[in-house]
Chains A and B, each alone.
Chain A
Amino acid sequence: MIGGEAGFGIMTTGVVFAKIATRLGYHIFDYVEYPSLIRGGHNAYEVHVADFEIRHLKPTIDVLVCLNKETFDKHSDRLNKESIVVYDENDFKIEGDYKKVSVSFKKIVTDLKGQAVMKNTVALGASLATLGAEIDELLKVIEEQFARKGEAVVNINKQFAQAGYDSAQKKFPSPNKLLTKMTTVEPKLVLTGNEAFSLGAVIADCRLYSAYPMTPSSTVLTVLAAWQKKSKMVVRHAEDEISVINTALGASFAGVRSAVGTSGGGFALMVESVSLAGVTEMPVVIFIAQRPGPATGMPTWTEQGDLLFTVHSGHGEFPKIVFSPGTVEEMIELTGKAFNMADVYQLPVIILSDMYLSEGHKSLAKKFIDDFIANYKINRGKLVTSLKPSGKTQIYLRYKDAEDGVSERIIPGVPGYYFQANSYEHVEDGHTTEAVQPRVIQVNKRARKWKTYLQNDFRLPEYYGDSNATDVFVSWGSNKGAIMEAQKQLTEKGMKTGFWHFTHIYPMDKEKVKGLFKENIRYILVENNSWGQFGKLLLAETGVEIKEKILRYDGRPISAEYILENIKL
């Protein structure tokens, strides 16, 4: 873990460390803690590194790099006597039985005539030295990062890295060789949940992304905006979230795959238009990265408090689909699926993430994405791309009644036809109606989409762990990694457990889901909110009630340790 004052490059440093570990052949999972301000607060970035696949953080800190005293004070409770603490003894002293490595950050920076932010590069060098790693990968990253700024800048940065490395090596001459290059290095990528959504959206041929910045969703906007020249996507930072979703709906009406991204508060502003998408049967993908509410809440922390709001968003009755991935891999898969489902069923599809999944990085095999791309097929459902013009321009039956609930669809500009997408209830050609029969026909038609979806595309939760377990966790979304780690630790304690992980949150197949829950099994609901919202949804949708709950709502993610502390053994 590295910590320091906000505004001094802690975040970038953390990502670089994660990438170096991955290049050396390791798997990583990381998490960042930061306050909702730009300068002056405390930032902490922790990277969990292992030689096997990981999806969780660990309780002990093996290396703590303190760029200020606060880092030590805040995190020393997670240190043990094997932990290495890198700090600057000219700056502050620390007490306790740890492997202390003092690196003169300030002096190095002053001697080499650098800016305060260069401390990070020194720290990266020092960290690698304490872990017994070579410095080569760091020097390579510096070359790549600063190549555009010229050789002089590259060399200066290399000097800082080398000075940190040498200084730490001198102070800590025989480190445990924890981070030596592995013999086989499988190519991997290091992605956050937000980046995984962005990449998934591009793969799925999303052509318009519209958003208004809101933590923790904003990096989707900035990543997609940065890619525009390459990806040819149009990215609009609109004046407010209402404009955001209506821009996307206009583009969707005109035929392009469109998406929006926000957090709970921004989504609250969009909700009237979710209903518009419902009645006009327009595909749109809505990405929500949850943070603790209500209102402005705790902007840079994590929670799963918007599940019921999301599921029930929009006035009136209309179908929508809600997915919630548990890892970056699932984020890519479900993003691809979300765009297909939006087109196939002509409705809003919501991807529910949270700060923990959205902003934490995970390494994943490059092959995973290559395979996903190779196998991903764009399915635009009943979009009619060519239609023979009739003699005279005529109205198109855009909302024609259909057995599966889905009508054929054309896009504006097809010669010889026209129709309207009407926010009022309408007849089959889109004209407004207040009559009894057409109203009932359209309500029923829209509702049948859910039935078709449940038959063809709904997926039951995945089961992890012991198939004969009598203690079974039930959860959804980003809690997956922590629960799987808790299962591992509980097995070591002699308790075999199972785990149902839901990603296809809404709608649910009542009978099939109900069938998964057996008598005489102890089910434990795990959620990152205070109401047990998924439990309420499960009860309402299937009649299954889970009485035992492990809930966390302090803004911090569910962790294996939290589960172990709170489970009744």
Chain B
Amino acid sequence: MTNINDFSGYNPTWCPGCGDWGIGLSIKQAFVQLGYDPSSVAVVFGIGCSGNMNDFINAYAMHSLHGRALPNAIGIKLANHNLPVVAIVGDGDCYGEGGNHLLHACRGNHDITVIVHDNSVYGLTTGQVAPTAAKGFKSKSTPSGIIEVPINPMALALINGATFVAQSFAGDMATMVSLIKAGIAHKGFSLINILQPCVTFNKINTFQYYLQRVYKLPQDYKKDDLKEALGKSLEVGQEKFPLGVLYQVERPSFTDQIDQLKDQTLVSRERFADFQNLYQDFI
């Protein structure tokens, strides 16, 4: 049995009061509760304040390029589908730079868990606007206010075939831990969008802002209804933020549907040697 210190690497360099502290702790707590140790889980980090968690969490990890954590995570899963694979990314990272990868990871129902730090800004590059910011959000790169309307990550995931879509809030550790555990336990693609106040560069979406606007999905909420889930995902337009699992259904994961991975992982199988069998195409 591990404890949270087993997963603790360097001391975090996040700003005091940053939502990342709570997210980082919740991820480690979830790993402990799932019975993992640092050698039994693979984590891929994007680039950003969220990605900097690479040095603060102990695990087999890749600190990837900006936007590219998802294809790395997919590659790890294809090579060893018995290994739990978690991607820890930011909103600019996953919804901006790497947006295309998200769409296709949802379609493929790749069995990875994607935890997105959604703070509406680029923290590490000192406060430019992110794709989730509300229209009109003023930032260093959009001094007159952003012209684009925000991306809707949960709606995007839902319509592209994700089989687990959830939302949490960085100020609510208990919900985060339970959603991260549920996401990892889910067989298939899971997206957990975490509303995260950036205390340094975002003076609008603060802890107070979210505390007044988040609410927990009721106990009797039906998780397997796509239309219902889409409706919930659209509430962000009215600045209402449902917390919990918006959608969860069972569908075979990507690796479940690859014959050659039925009995063994790609990395553990014997070397193929029946080369003569391939010659016939060339005679």
Contact = CB atoms under 8 A, between A and B. Distances in A.
A254 B42 contact: yes
Interface string B162-197: 000000000000000000000000000000000000
A423 B61 CA distance: 11
B71 interface: yes
Contacts of A244: 71
A431 B76 CA distance: 20
Contact of A256 (B70, B82, B267, B278): B267
Interface size class of B (residues with CB under 8 A): 35 or more
B38 interface: yes
Interface residues of A, number: 71
B39 A253 contact: no
B238 to A, nearest CB: 32
Given A233-B260, A432-B54, A254 B80 contact: yes
A233 B44 CA distance: 24
B65 interface: yes
Given A208-B75, A373-B275, A256 B266 contact: yes
A122 interface: no
Contact of A423 (B47, B259, B274): B47
A230 B279 contact: no
Given A203-B275, A393-B37, A415-B39, 17 more contacts: A189-B282, A189-B283, A202-B278, A207-B267, A208-B78, A242-B101, A243-B104, A247-B71, A250-B79, A253-B72, A254-B42, A254-B75, A255-B79, A369-B275, A393-B38, A393-B58, A418-B61
Given A205-B271, A415-B40, A418-B60, A236 B78 contact: yes
Contact of A202 (B44, B83, B275): B275
B282 A273 contact: no
Contacts of A411: 267
A417 B72 contact: no
A147 B47 CA distance: 55
Given A208-B78, A234-B78, A421-B62, A431 B55 contact: yes
A29 B55 CA distance: 56
A419 B65 contact: no
A423 B64 contact: yes
A423 B279 contact: no
Nearest to A392: B6
B164 to A, nearest CB: 20
A422 interface: yes
Given A239-B100, A253-B75, A254-B83, A414 B39 contact: yes
30 contacts: A188-B283, A189-B282, A195-B282, A202-B272, A202-B278, A207-B266, A230-B278, A233-B272, A238-B71, A242-B67, A242-B100, A243-B70, A244-B71, A246-B68, A247-B72, A250-B62, A250-B75, A250-B76, A250-B79, A254-B76, A254-B79, A256-B267, A273-B68, A369-B275, A415-B40, A417-B39, A418-B39, A419-B60, A420-B54, A421-B61
B59 interface: yes
B269 interface: yes
Given A246-B75, A276-B65, A366-B279, A229 B58 contact: no
Nearest to A378: B271
A424 B79 contact: no
Contacts of A236: 74, 78
Contacts of B283: 19, 22-23, 187-190
Nearest to A187: B283
A248 B266 CA distance: 13
Contacts of B73: 250
Contacts of A126: none
Main secondary structure of the interface of A (DSSP, over half): mixed
B260 A252 contact: no
Contacts of B82: 413
Interface in A170-217: 187-191, 195, 199, 202-203, 205, 207-208, 210
Contacts of B1: none
Nearest to A433: B55
A253 B62 contact: yes
Interface in B214-271: 258-261, 266-267, 269, 271
Nearest to B73: A250
B260 A422 contact: no
A258 interface: yes
A256 B59 contact: no
B79 A208 contact: yes
B282 to A, nearest CB: 4
Contacts of A253: 62, 72, 75-76, 79
Interface in A375-415: 378, 393, 395, 411-415
Interface in B21-56: 37-40, 42, 44, 47, 52, 54-55
Interface in A222-238: 223, 227-234, 236, 238
A7 interface: no
A254 B271 CA distance: 16
A319 to B, nearest CB: 19
A378 B216 CA distance: 55
B277 A230 contact: yes
A415 to B, nearest CB: 5
B96 to A, nearest CB: 14
B62 A238 contact: no
Nearest to B45: A420
A415 B2 CA distance: 13
A256 B71 contact: no
Contacts of A230: 272, 274, 277-278
B111 to A, nearest CB: 13
A251 B78 contact: yes
B133 to A, nearest CB: 24
A256 B68 CA distance: 19
A316 interface: no
A247 B75 contact: yes
A19 B76 CA distance: 40
B165 to A, nearest CB: 20
A430 B62 CA distance: 9
Nearest to B279: A189
B9 interface: yes
A59 interface: no
B109 to A, nearest CB: 14
A412 B44 CA distance: 12
Contacts of B274: 230
B199 interface: no
B83 A250 contact: no
Interface in A250-274: 250-256, 258, 272-273
The interface centre, meaning the residue of B52, B76, B80, B103 with most chain A CB atoms within 10 A of its CB, is B76
Nearest to A420: B61
Contacts of B75: 208, 210, 246-254, 258
A358 interface: no
The interface centre, meaning the residue of B61, B77, B79, B279 with most chain A CB atoms within 10 A of its CB, is B79
Contact of A413 (B47, B52, B60, B63): B60
A121 interface: no
A256 B79 contact: yes
Given A195-B282, A230-B278, A251 B104 contact: no
A234 B272 contact: no
The 4 A-B pairs of least Cβ separation, nearest first, read: A250-B75, A246-B71, A254-B79, A412-B60
B78 A412 contact: no
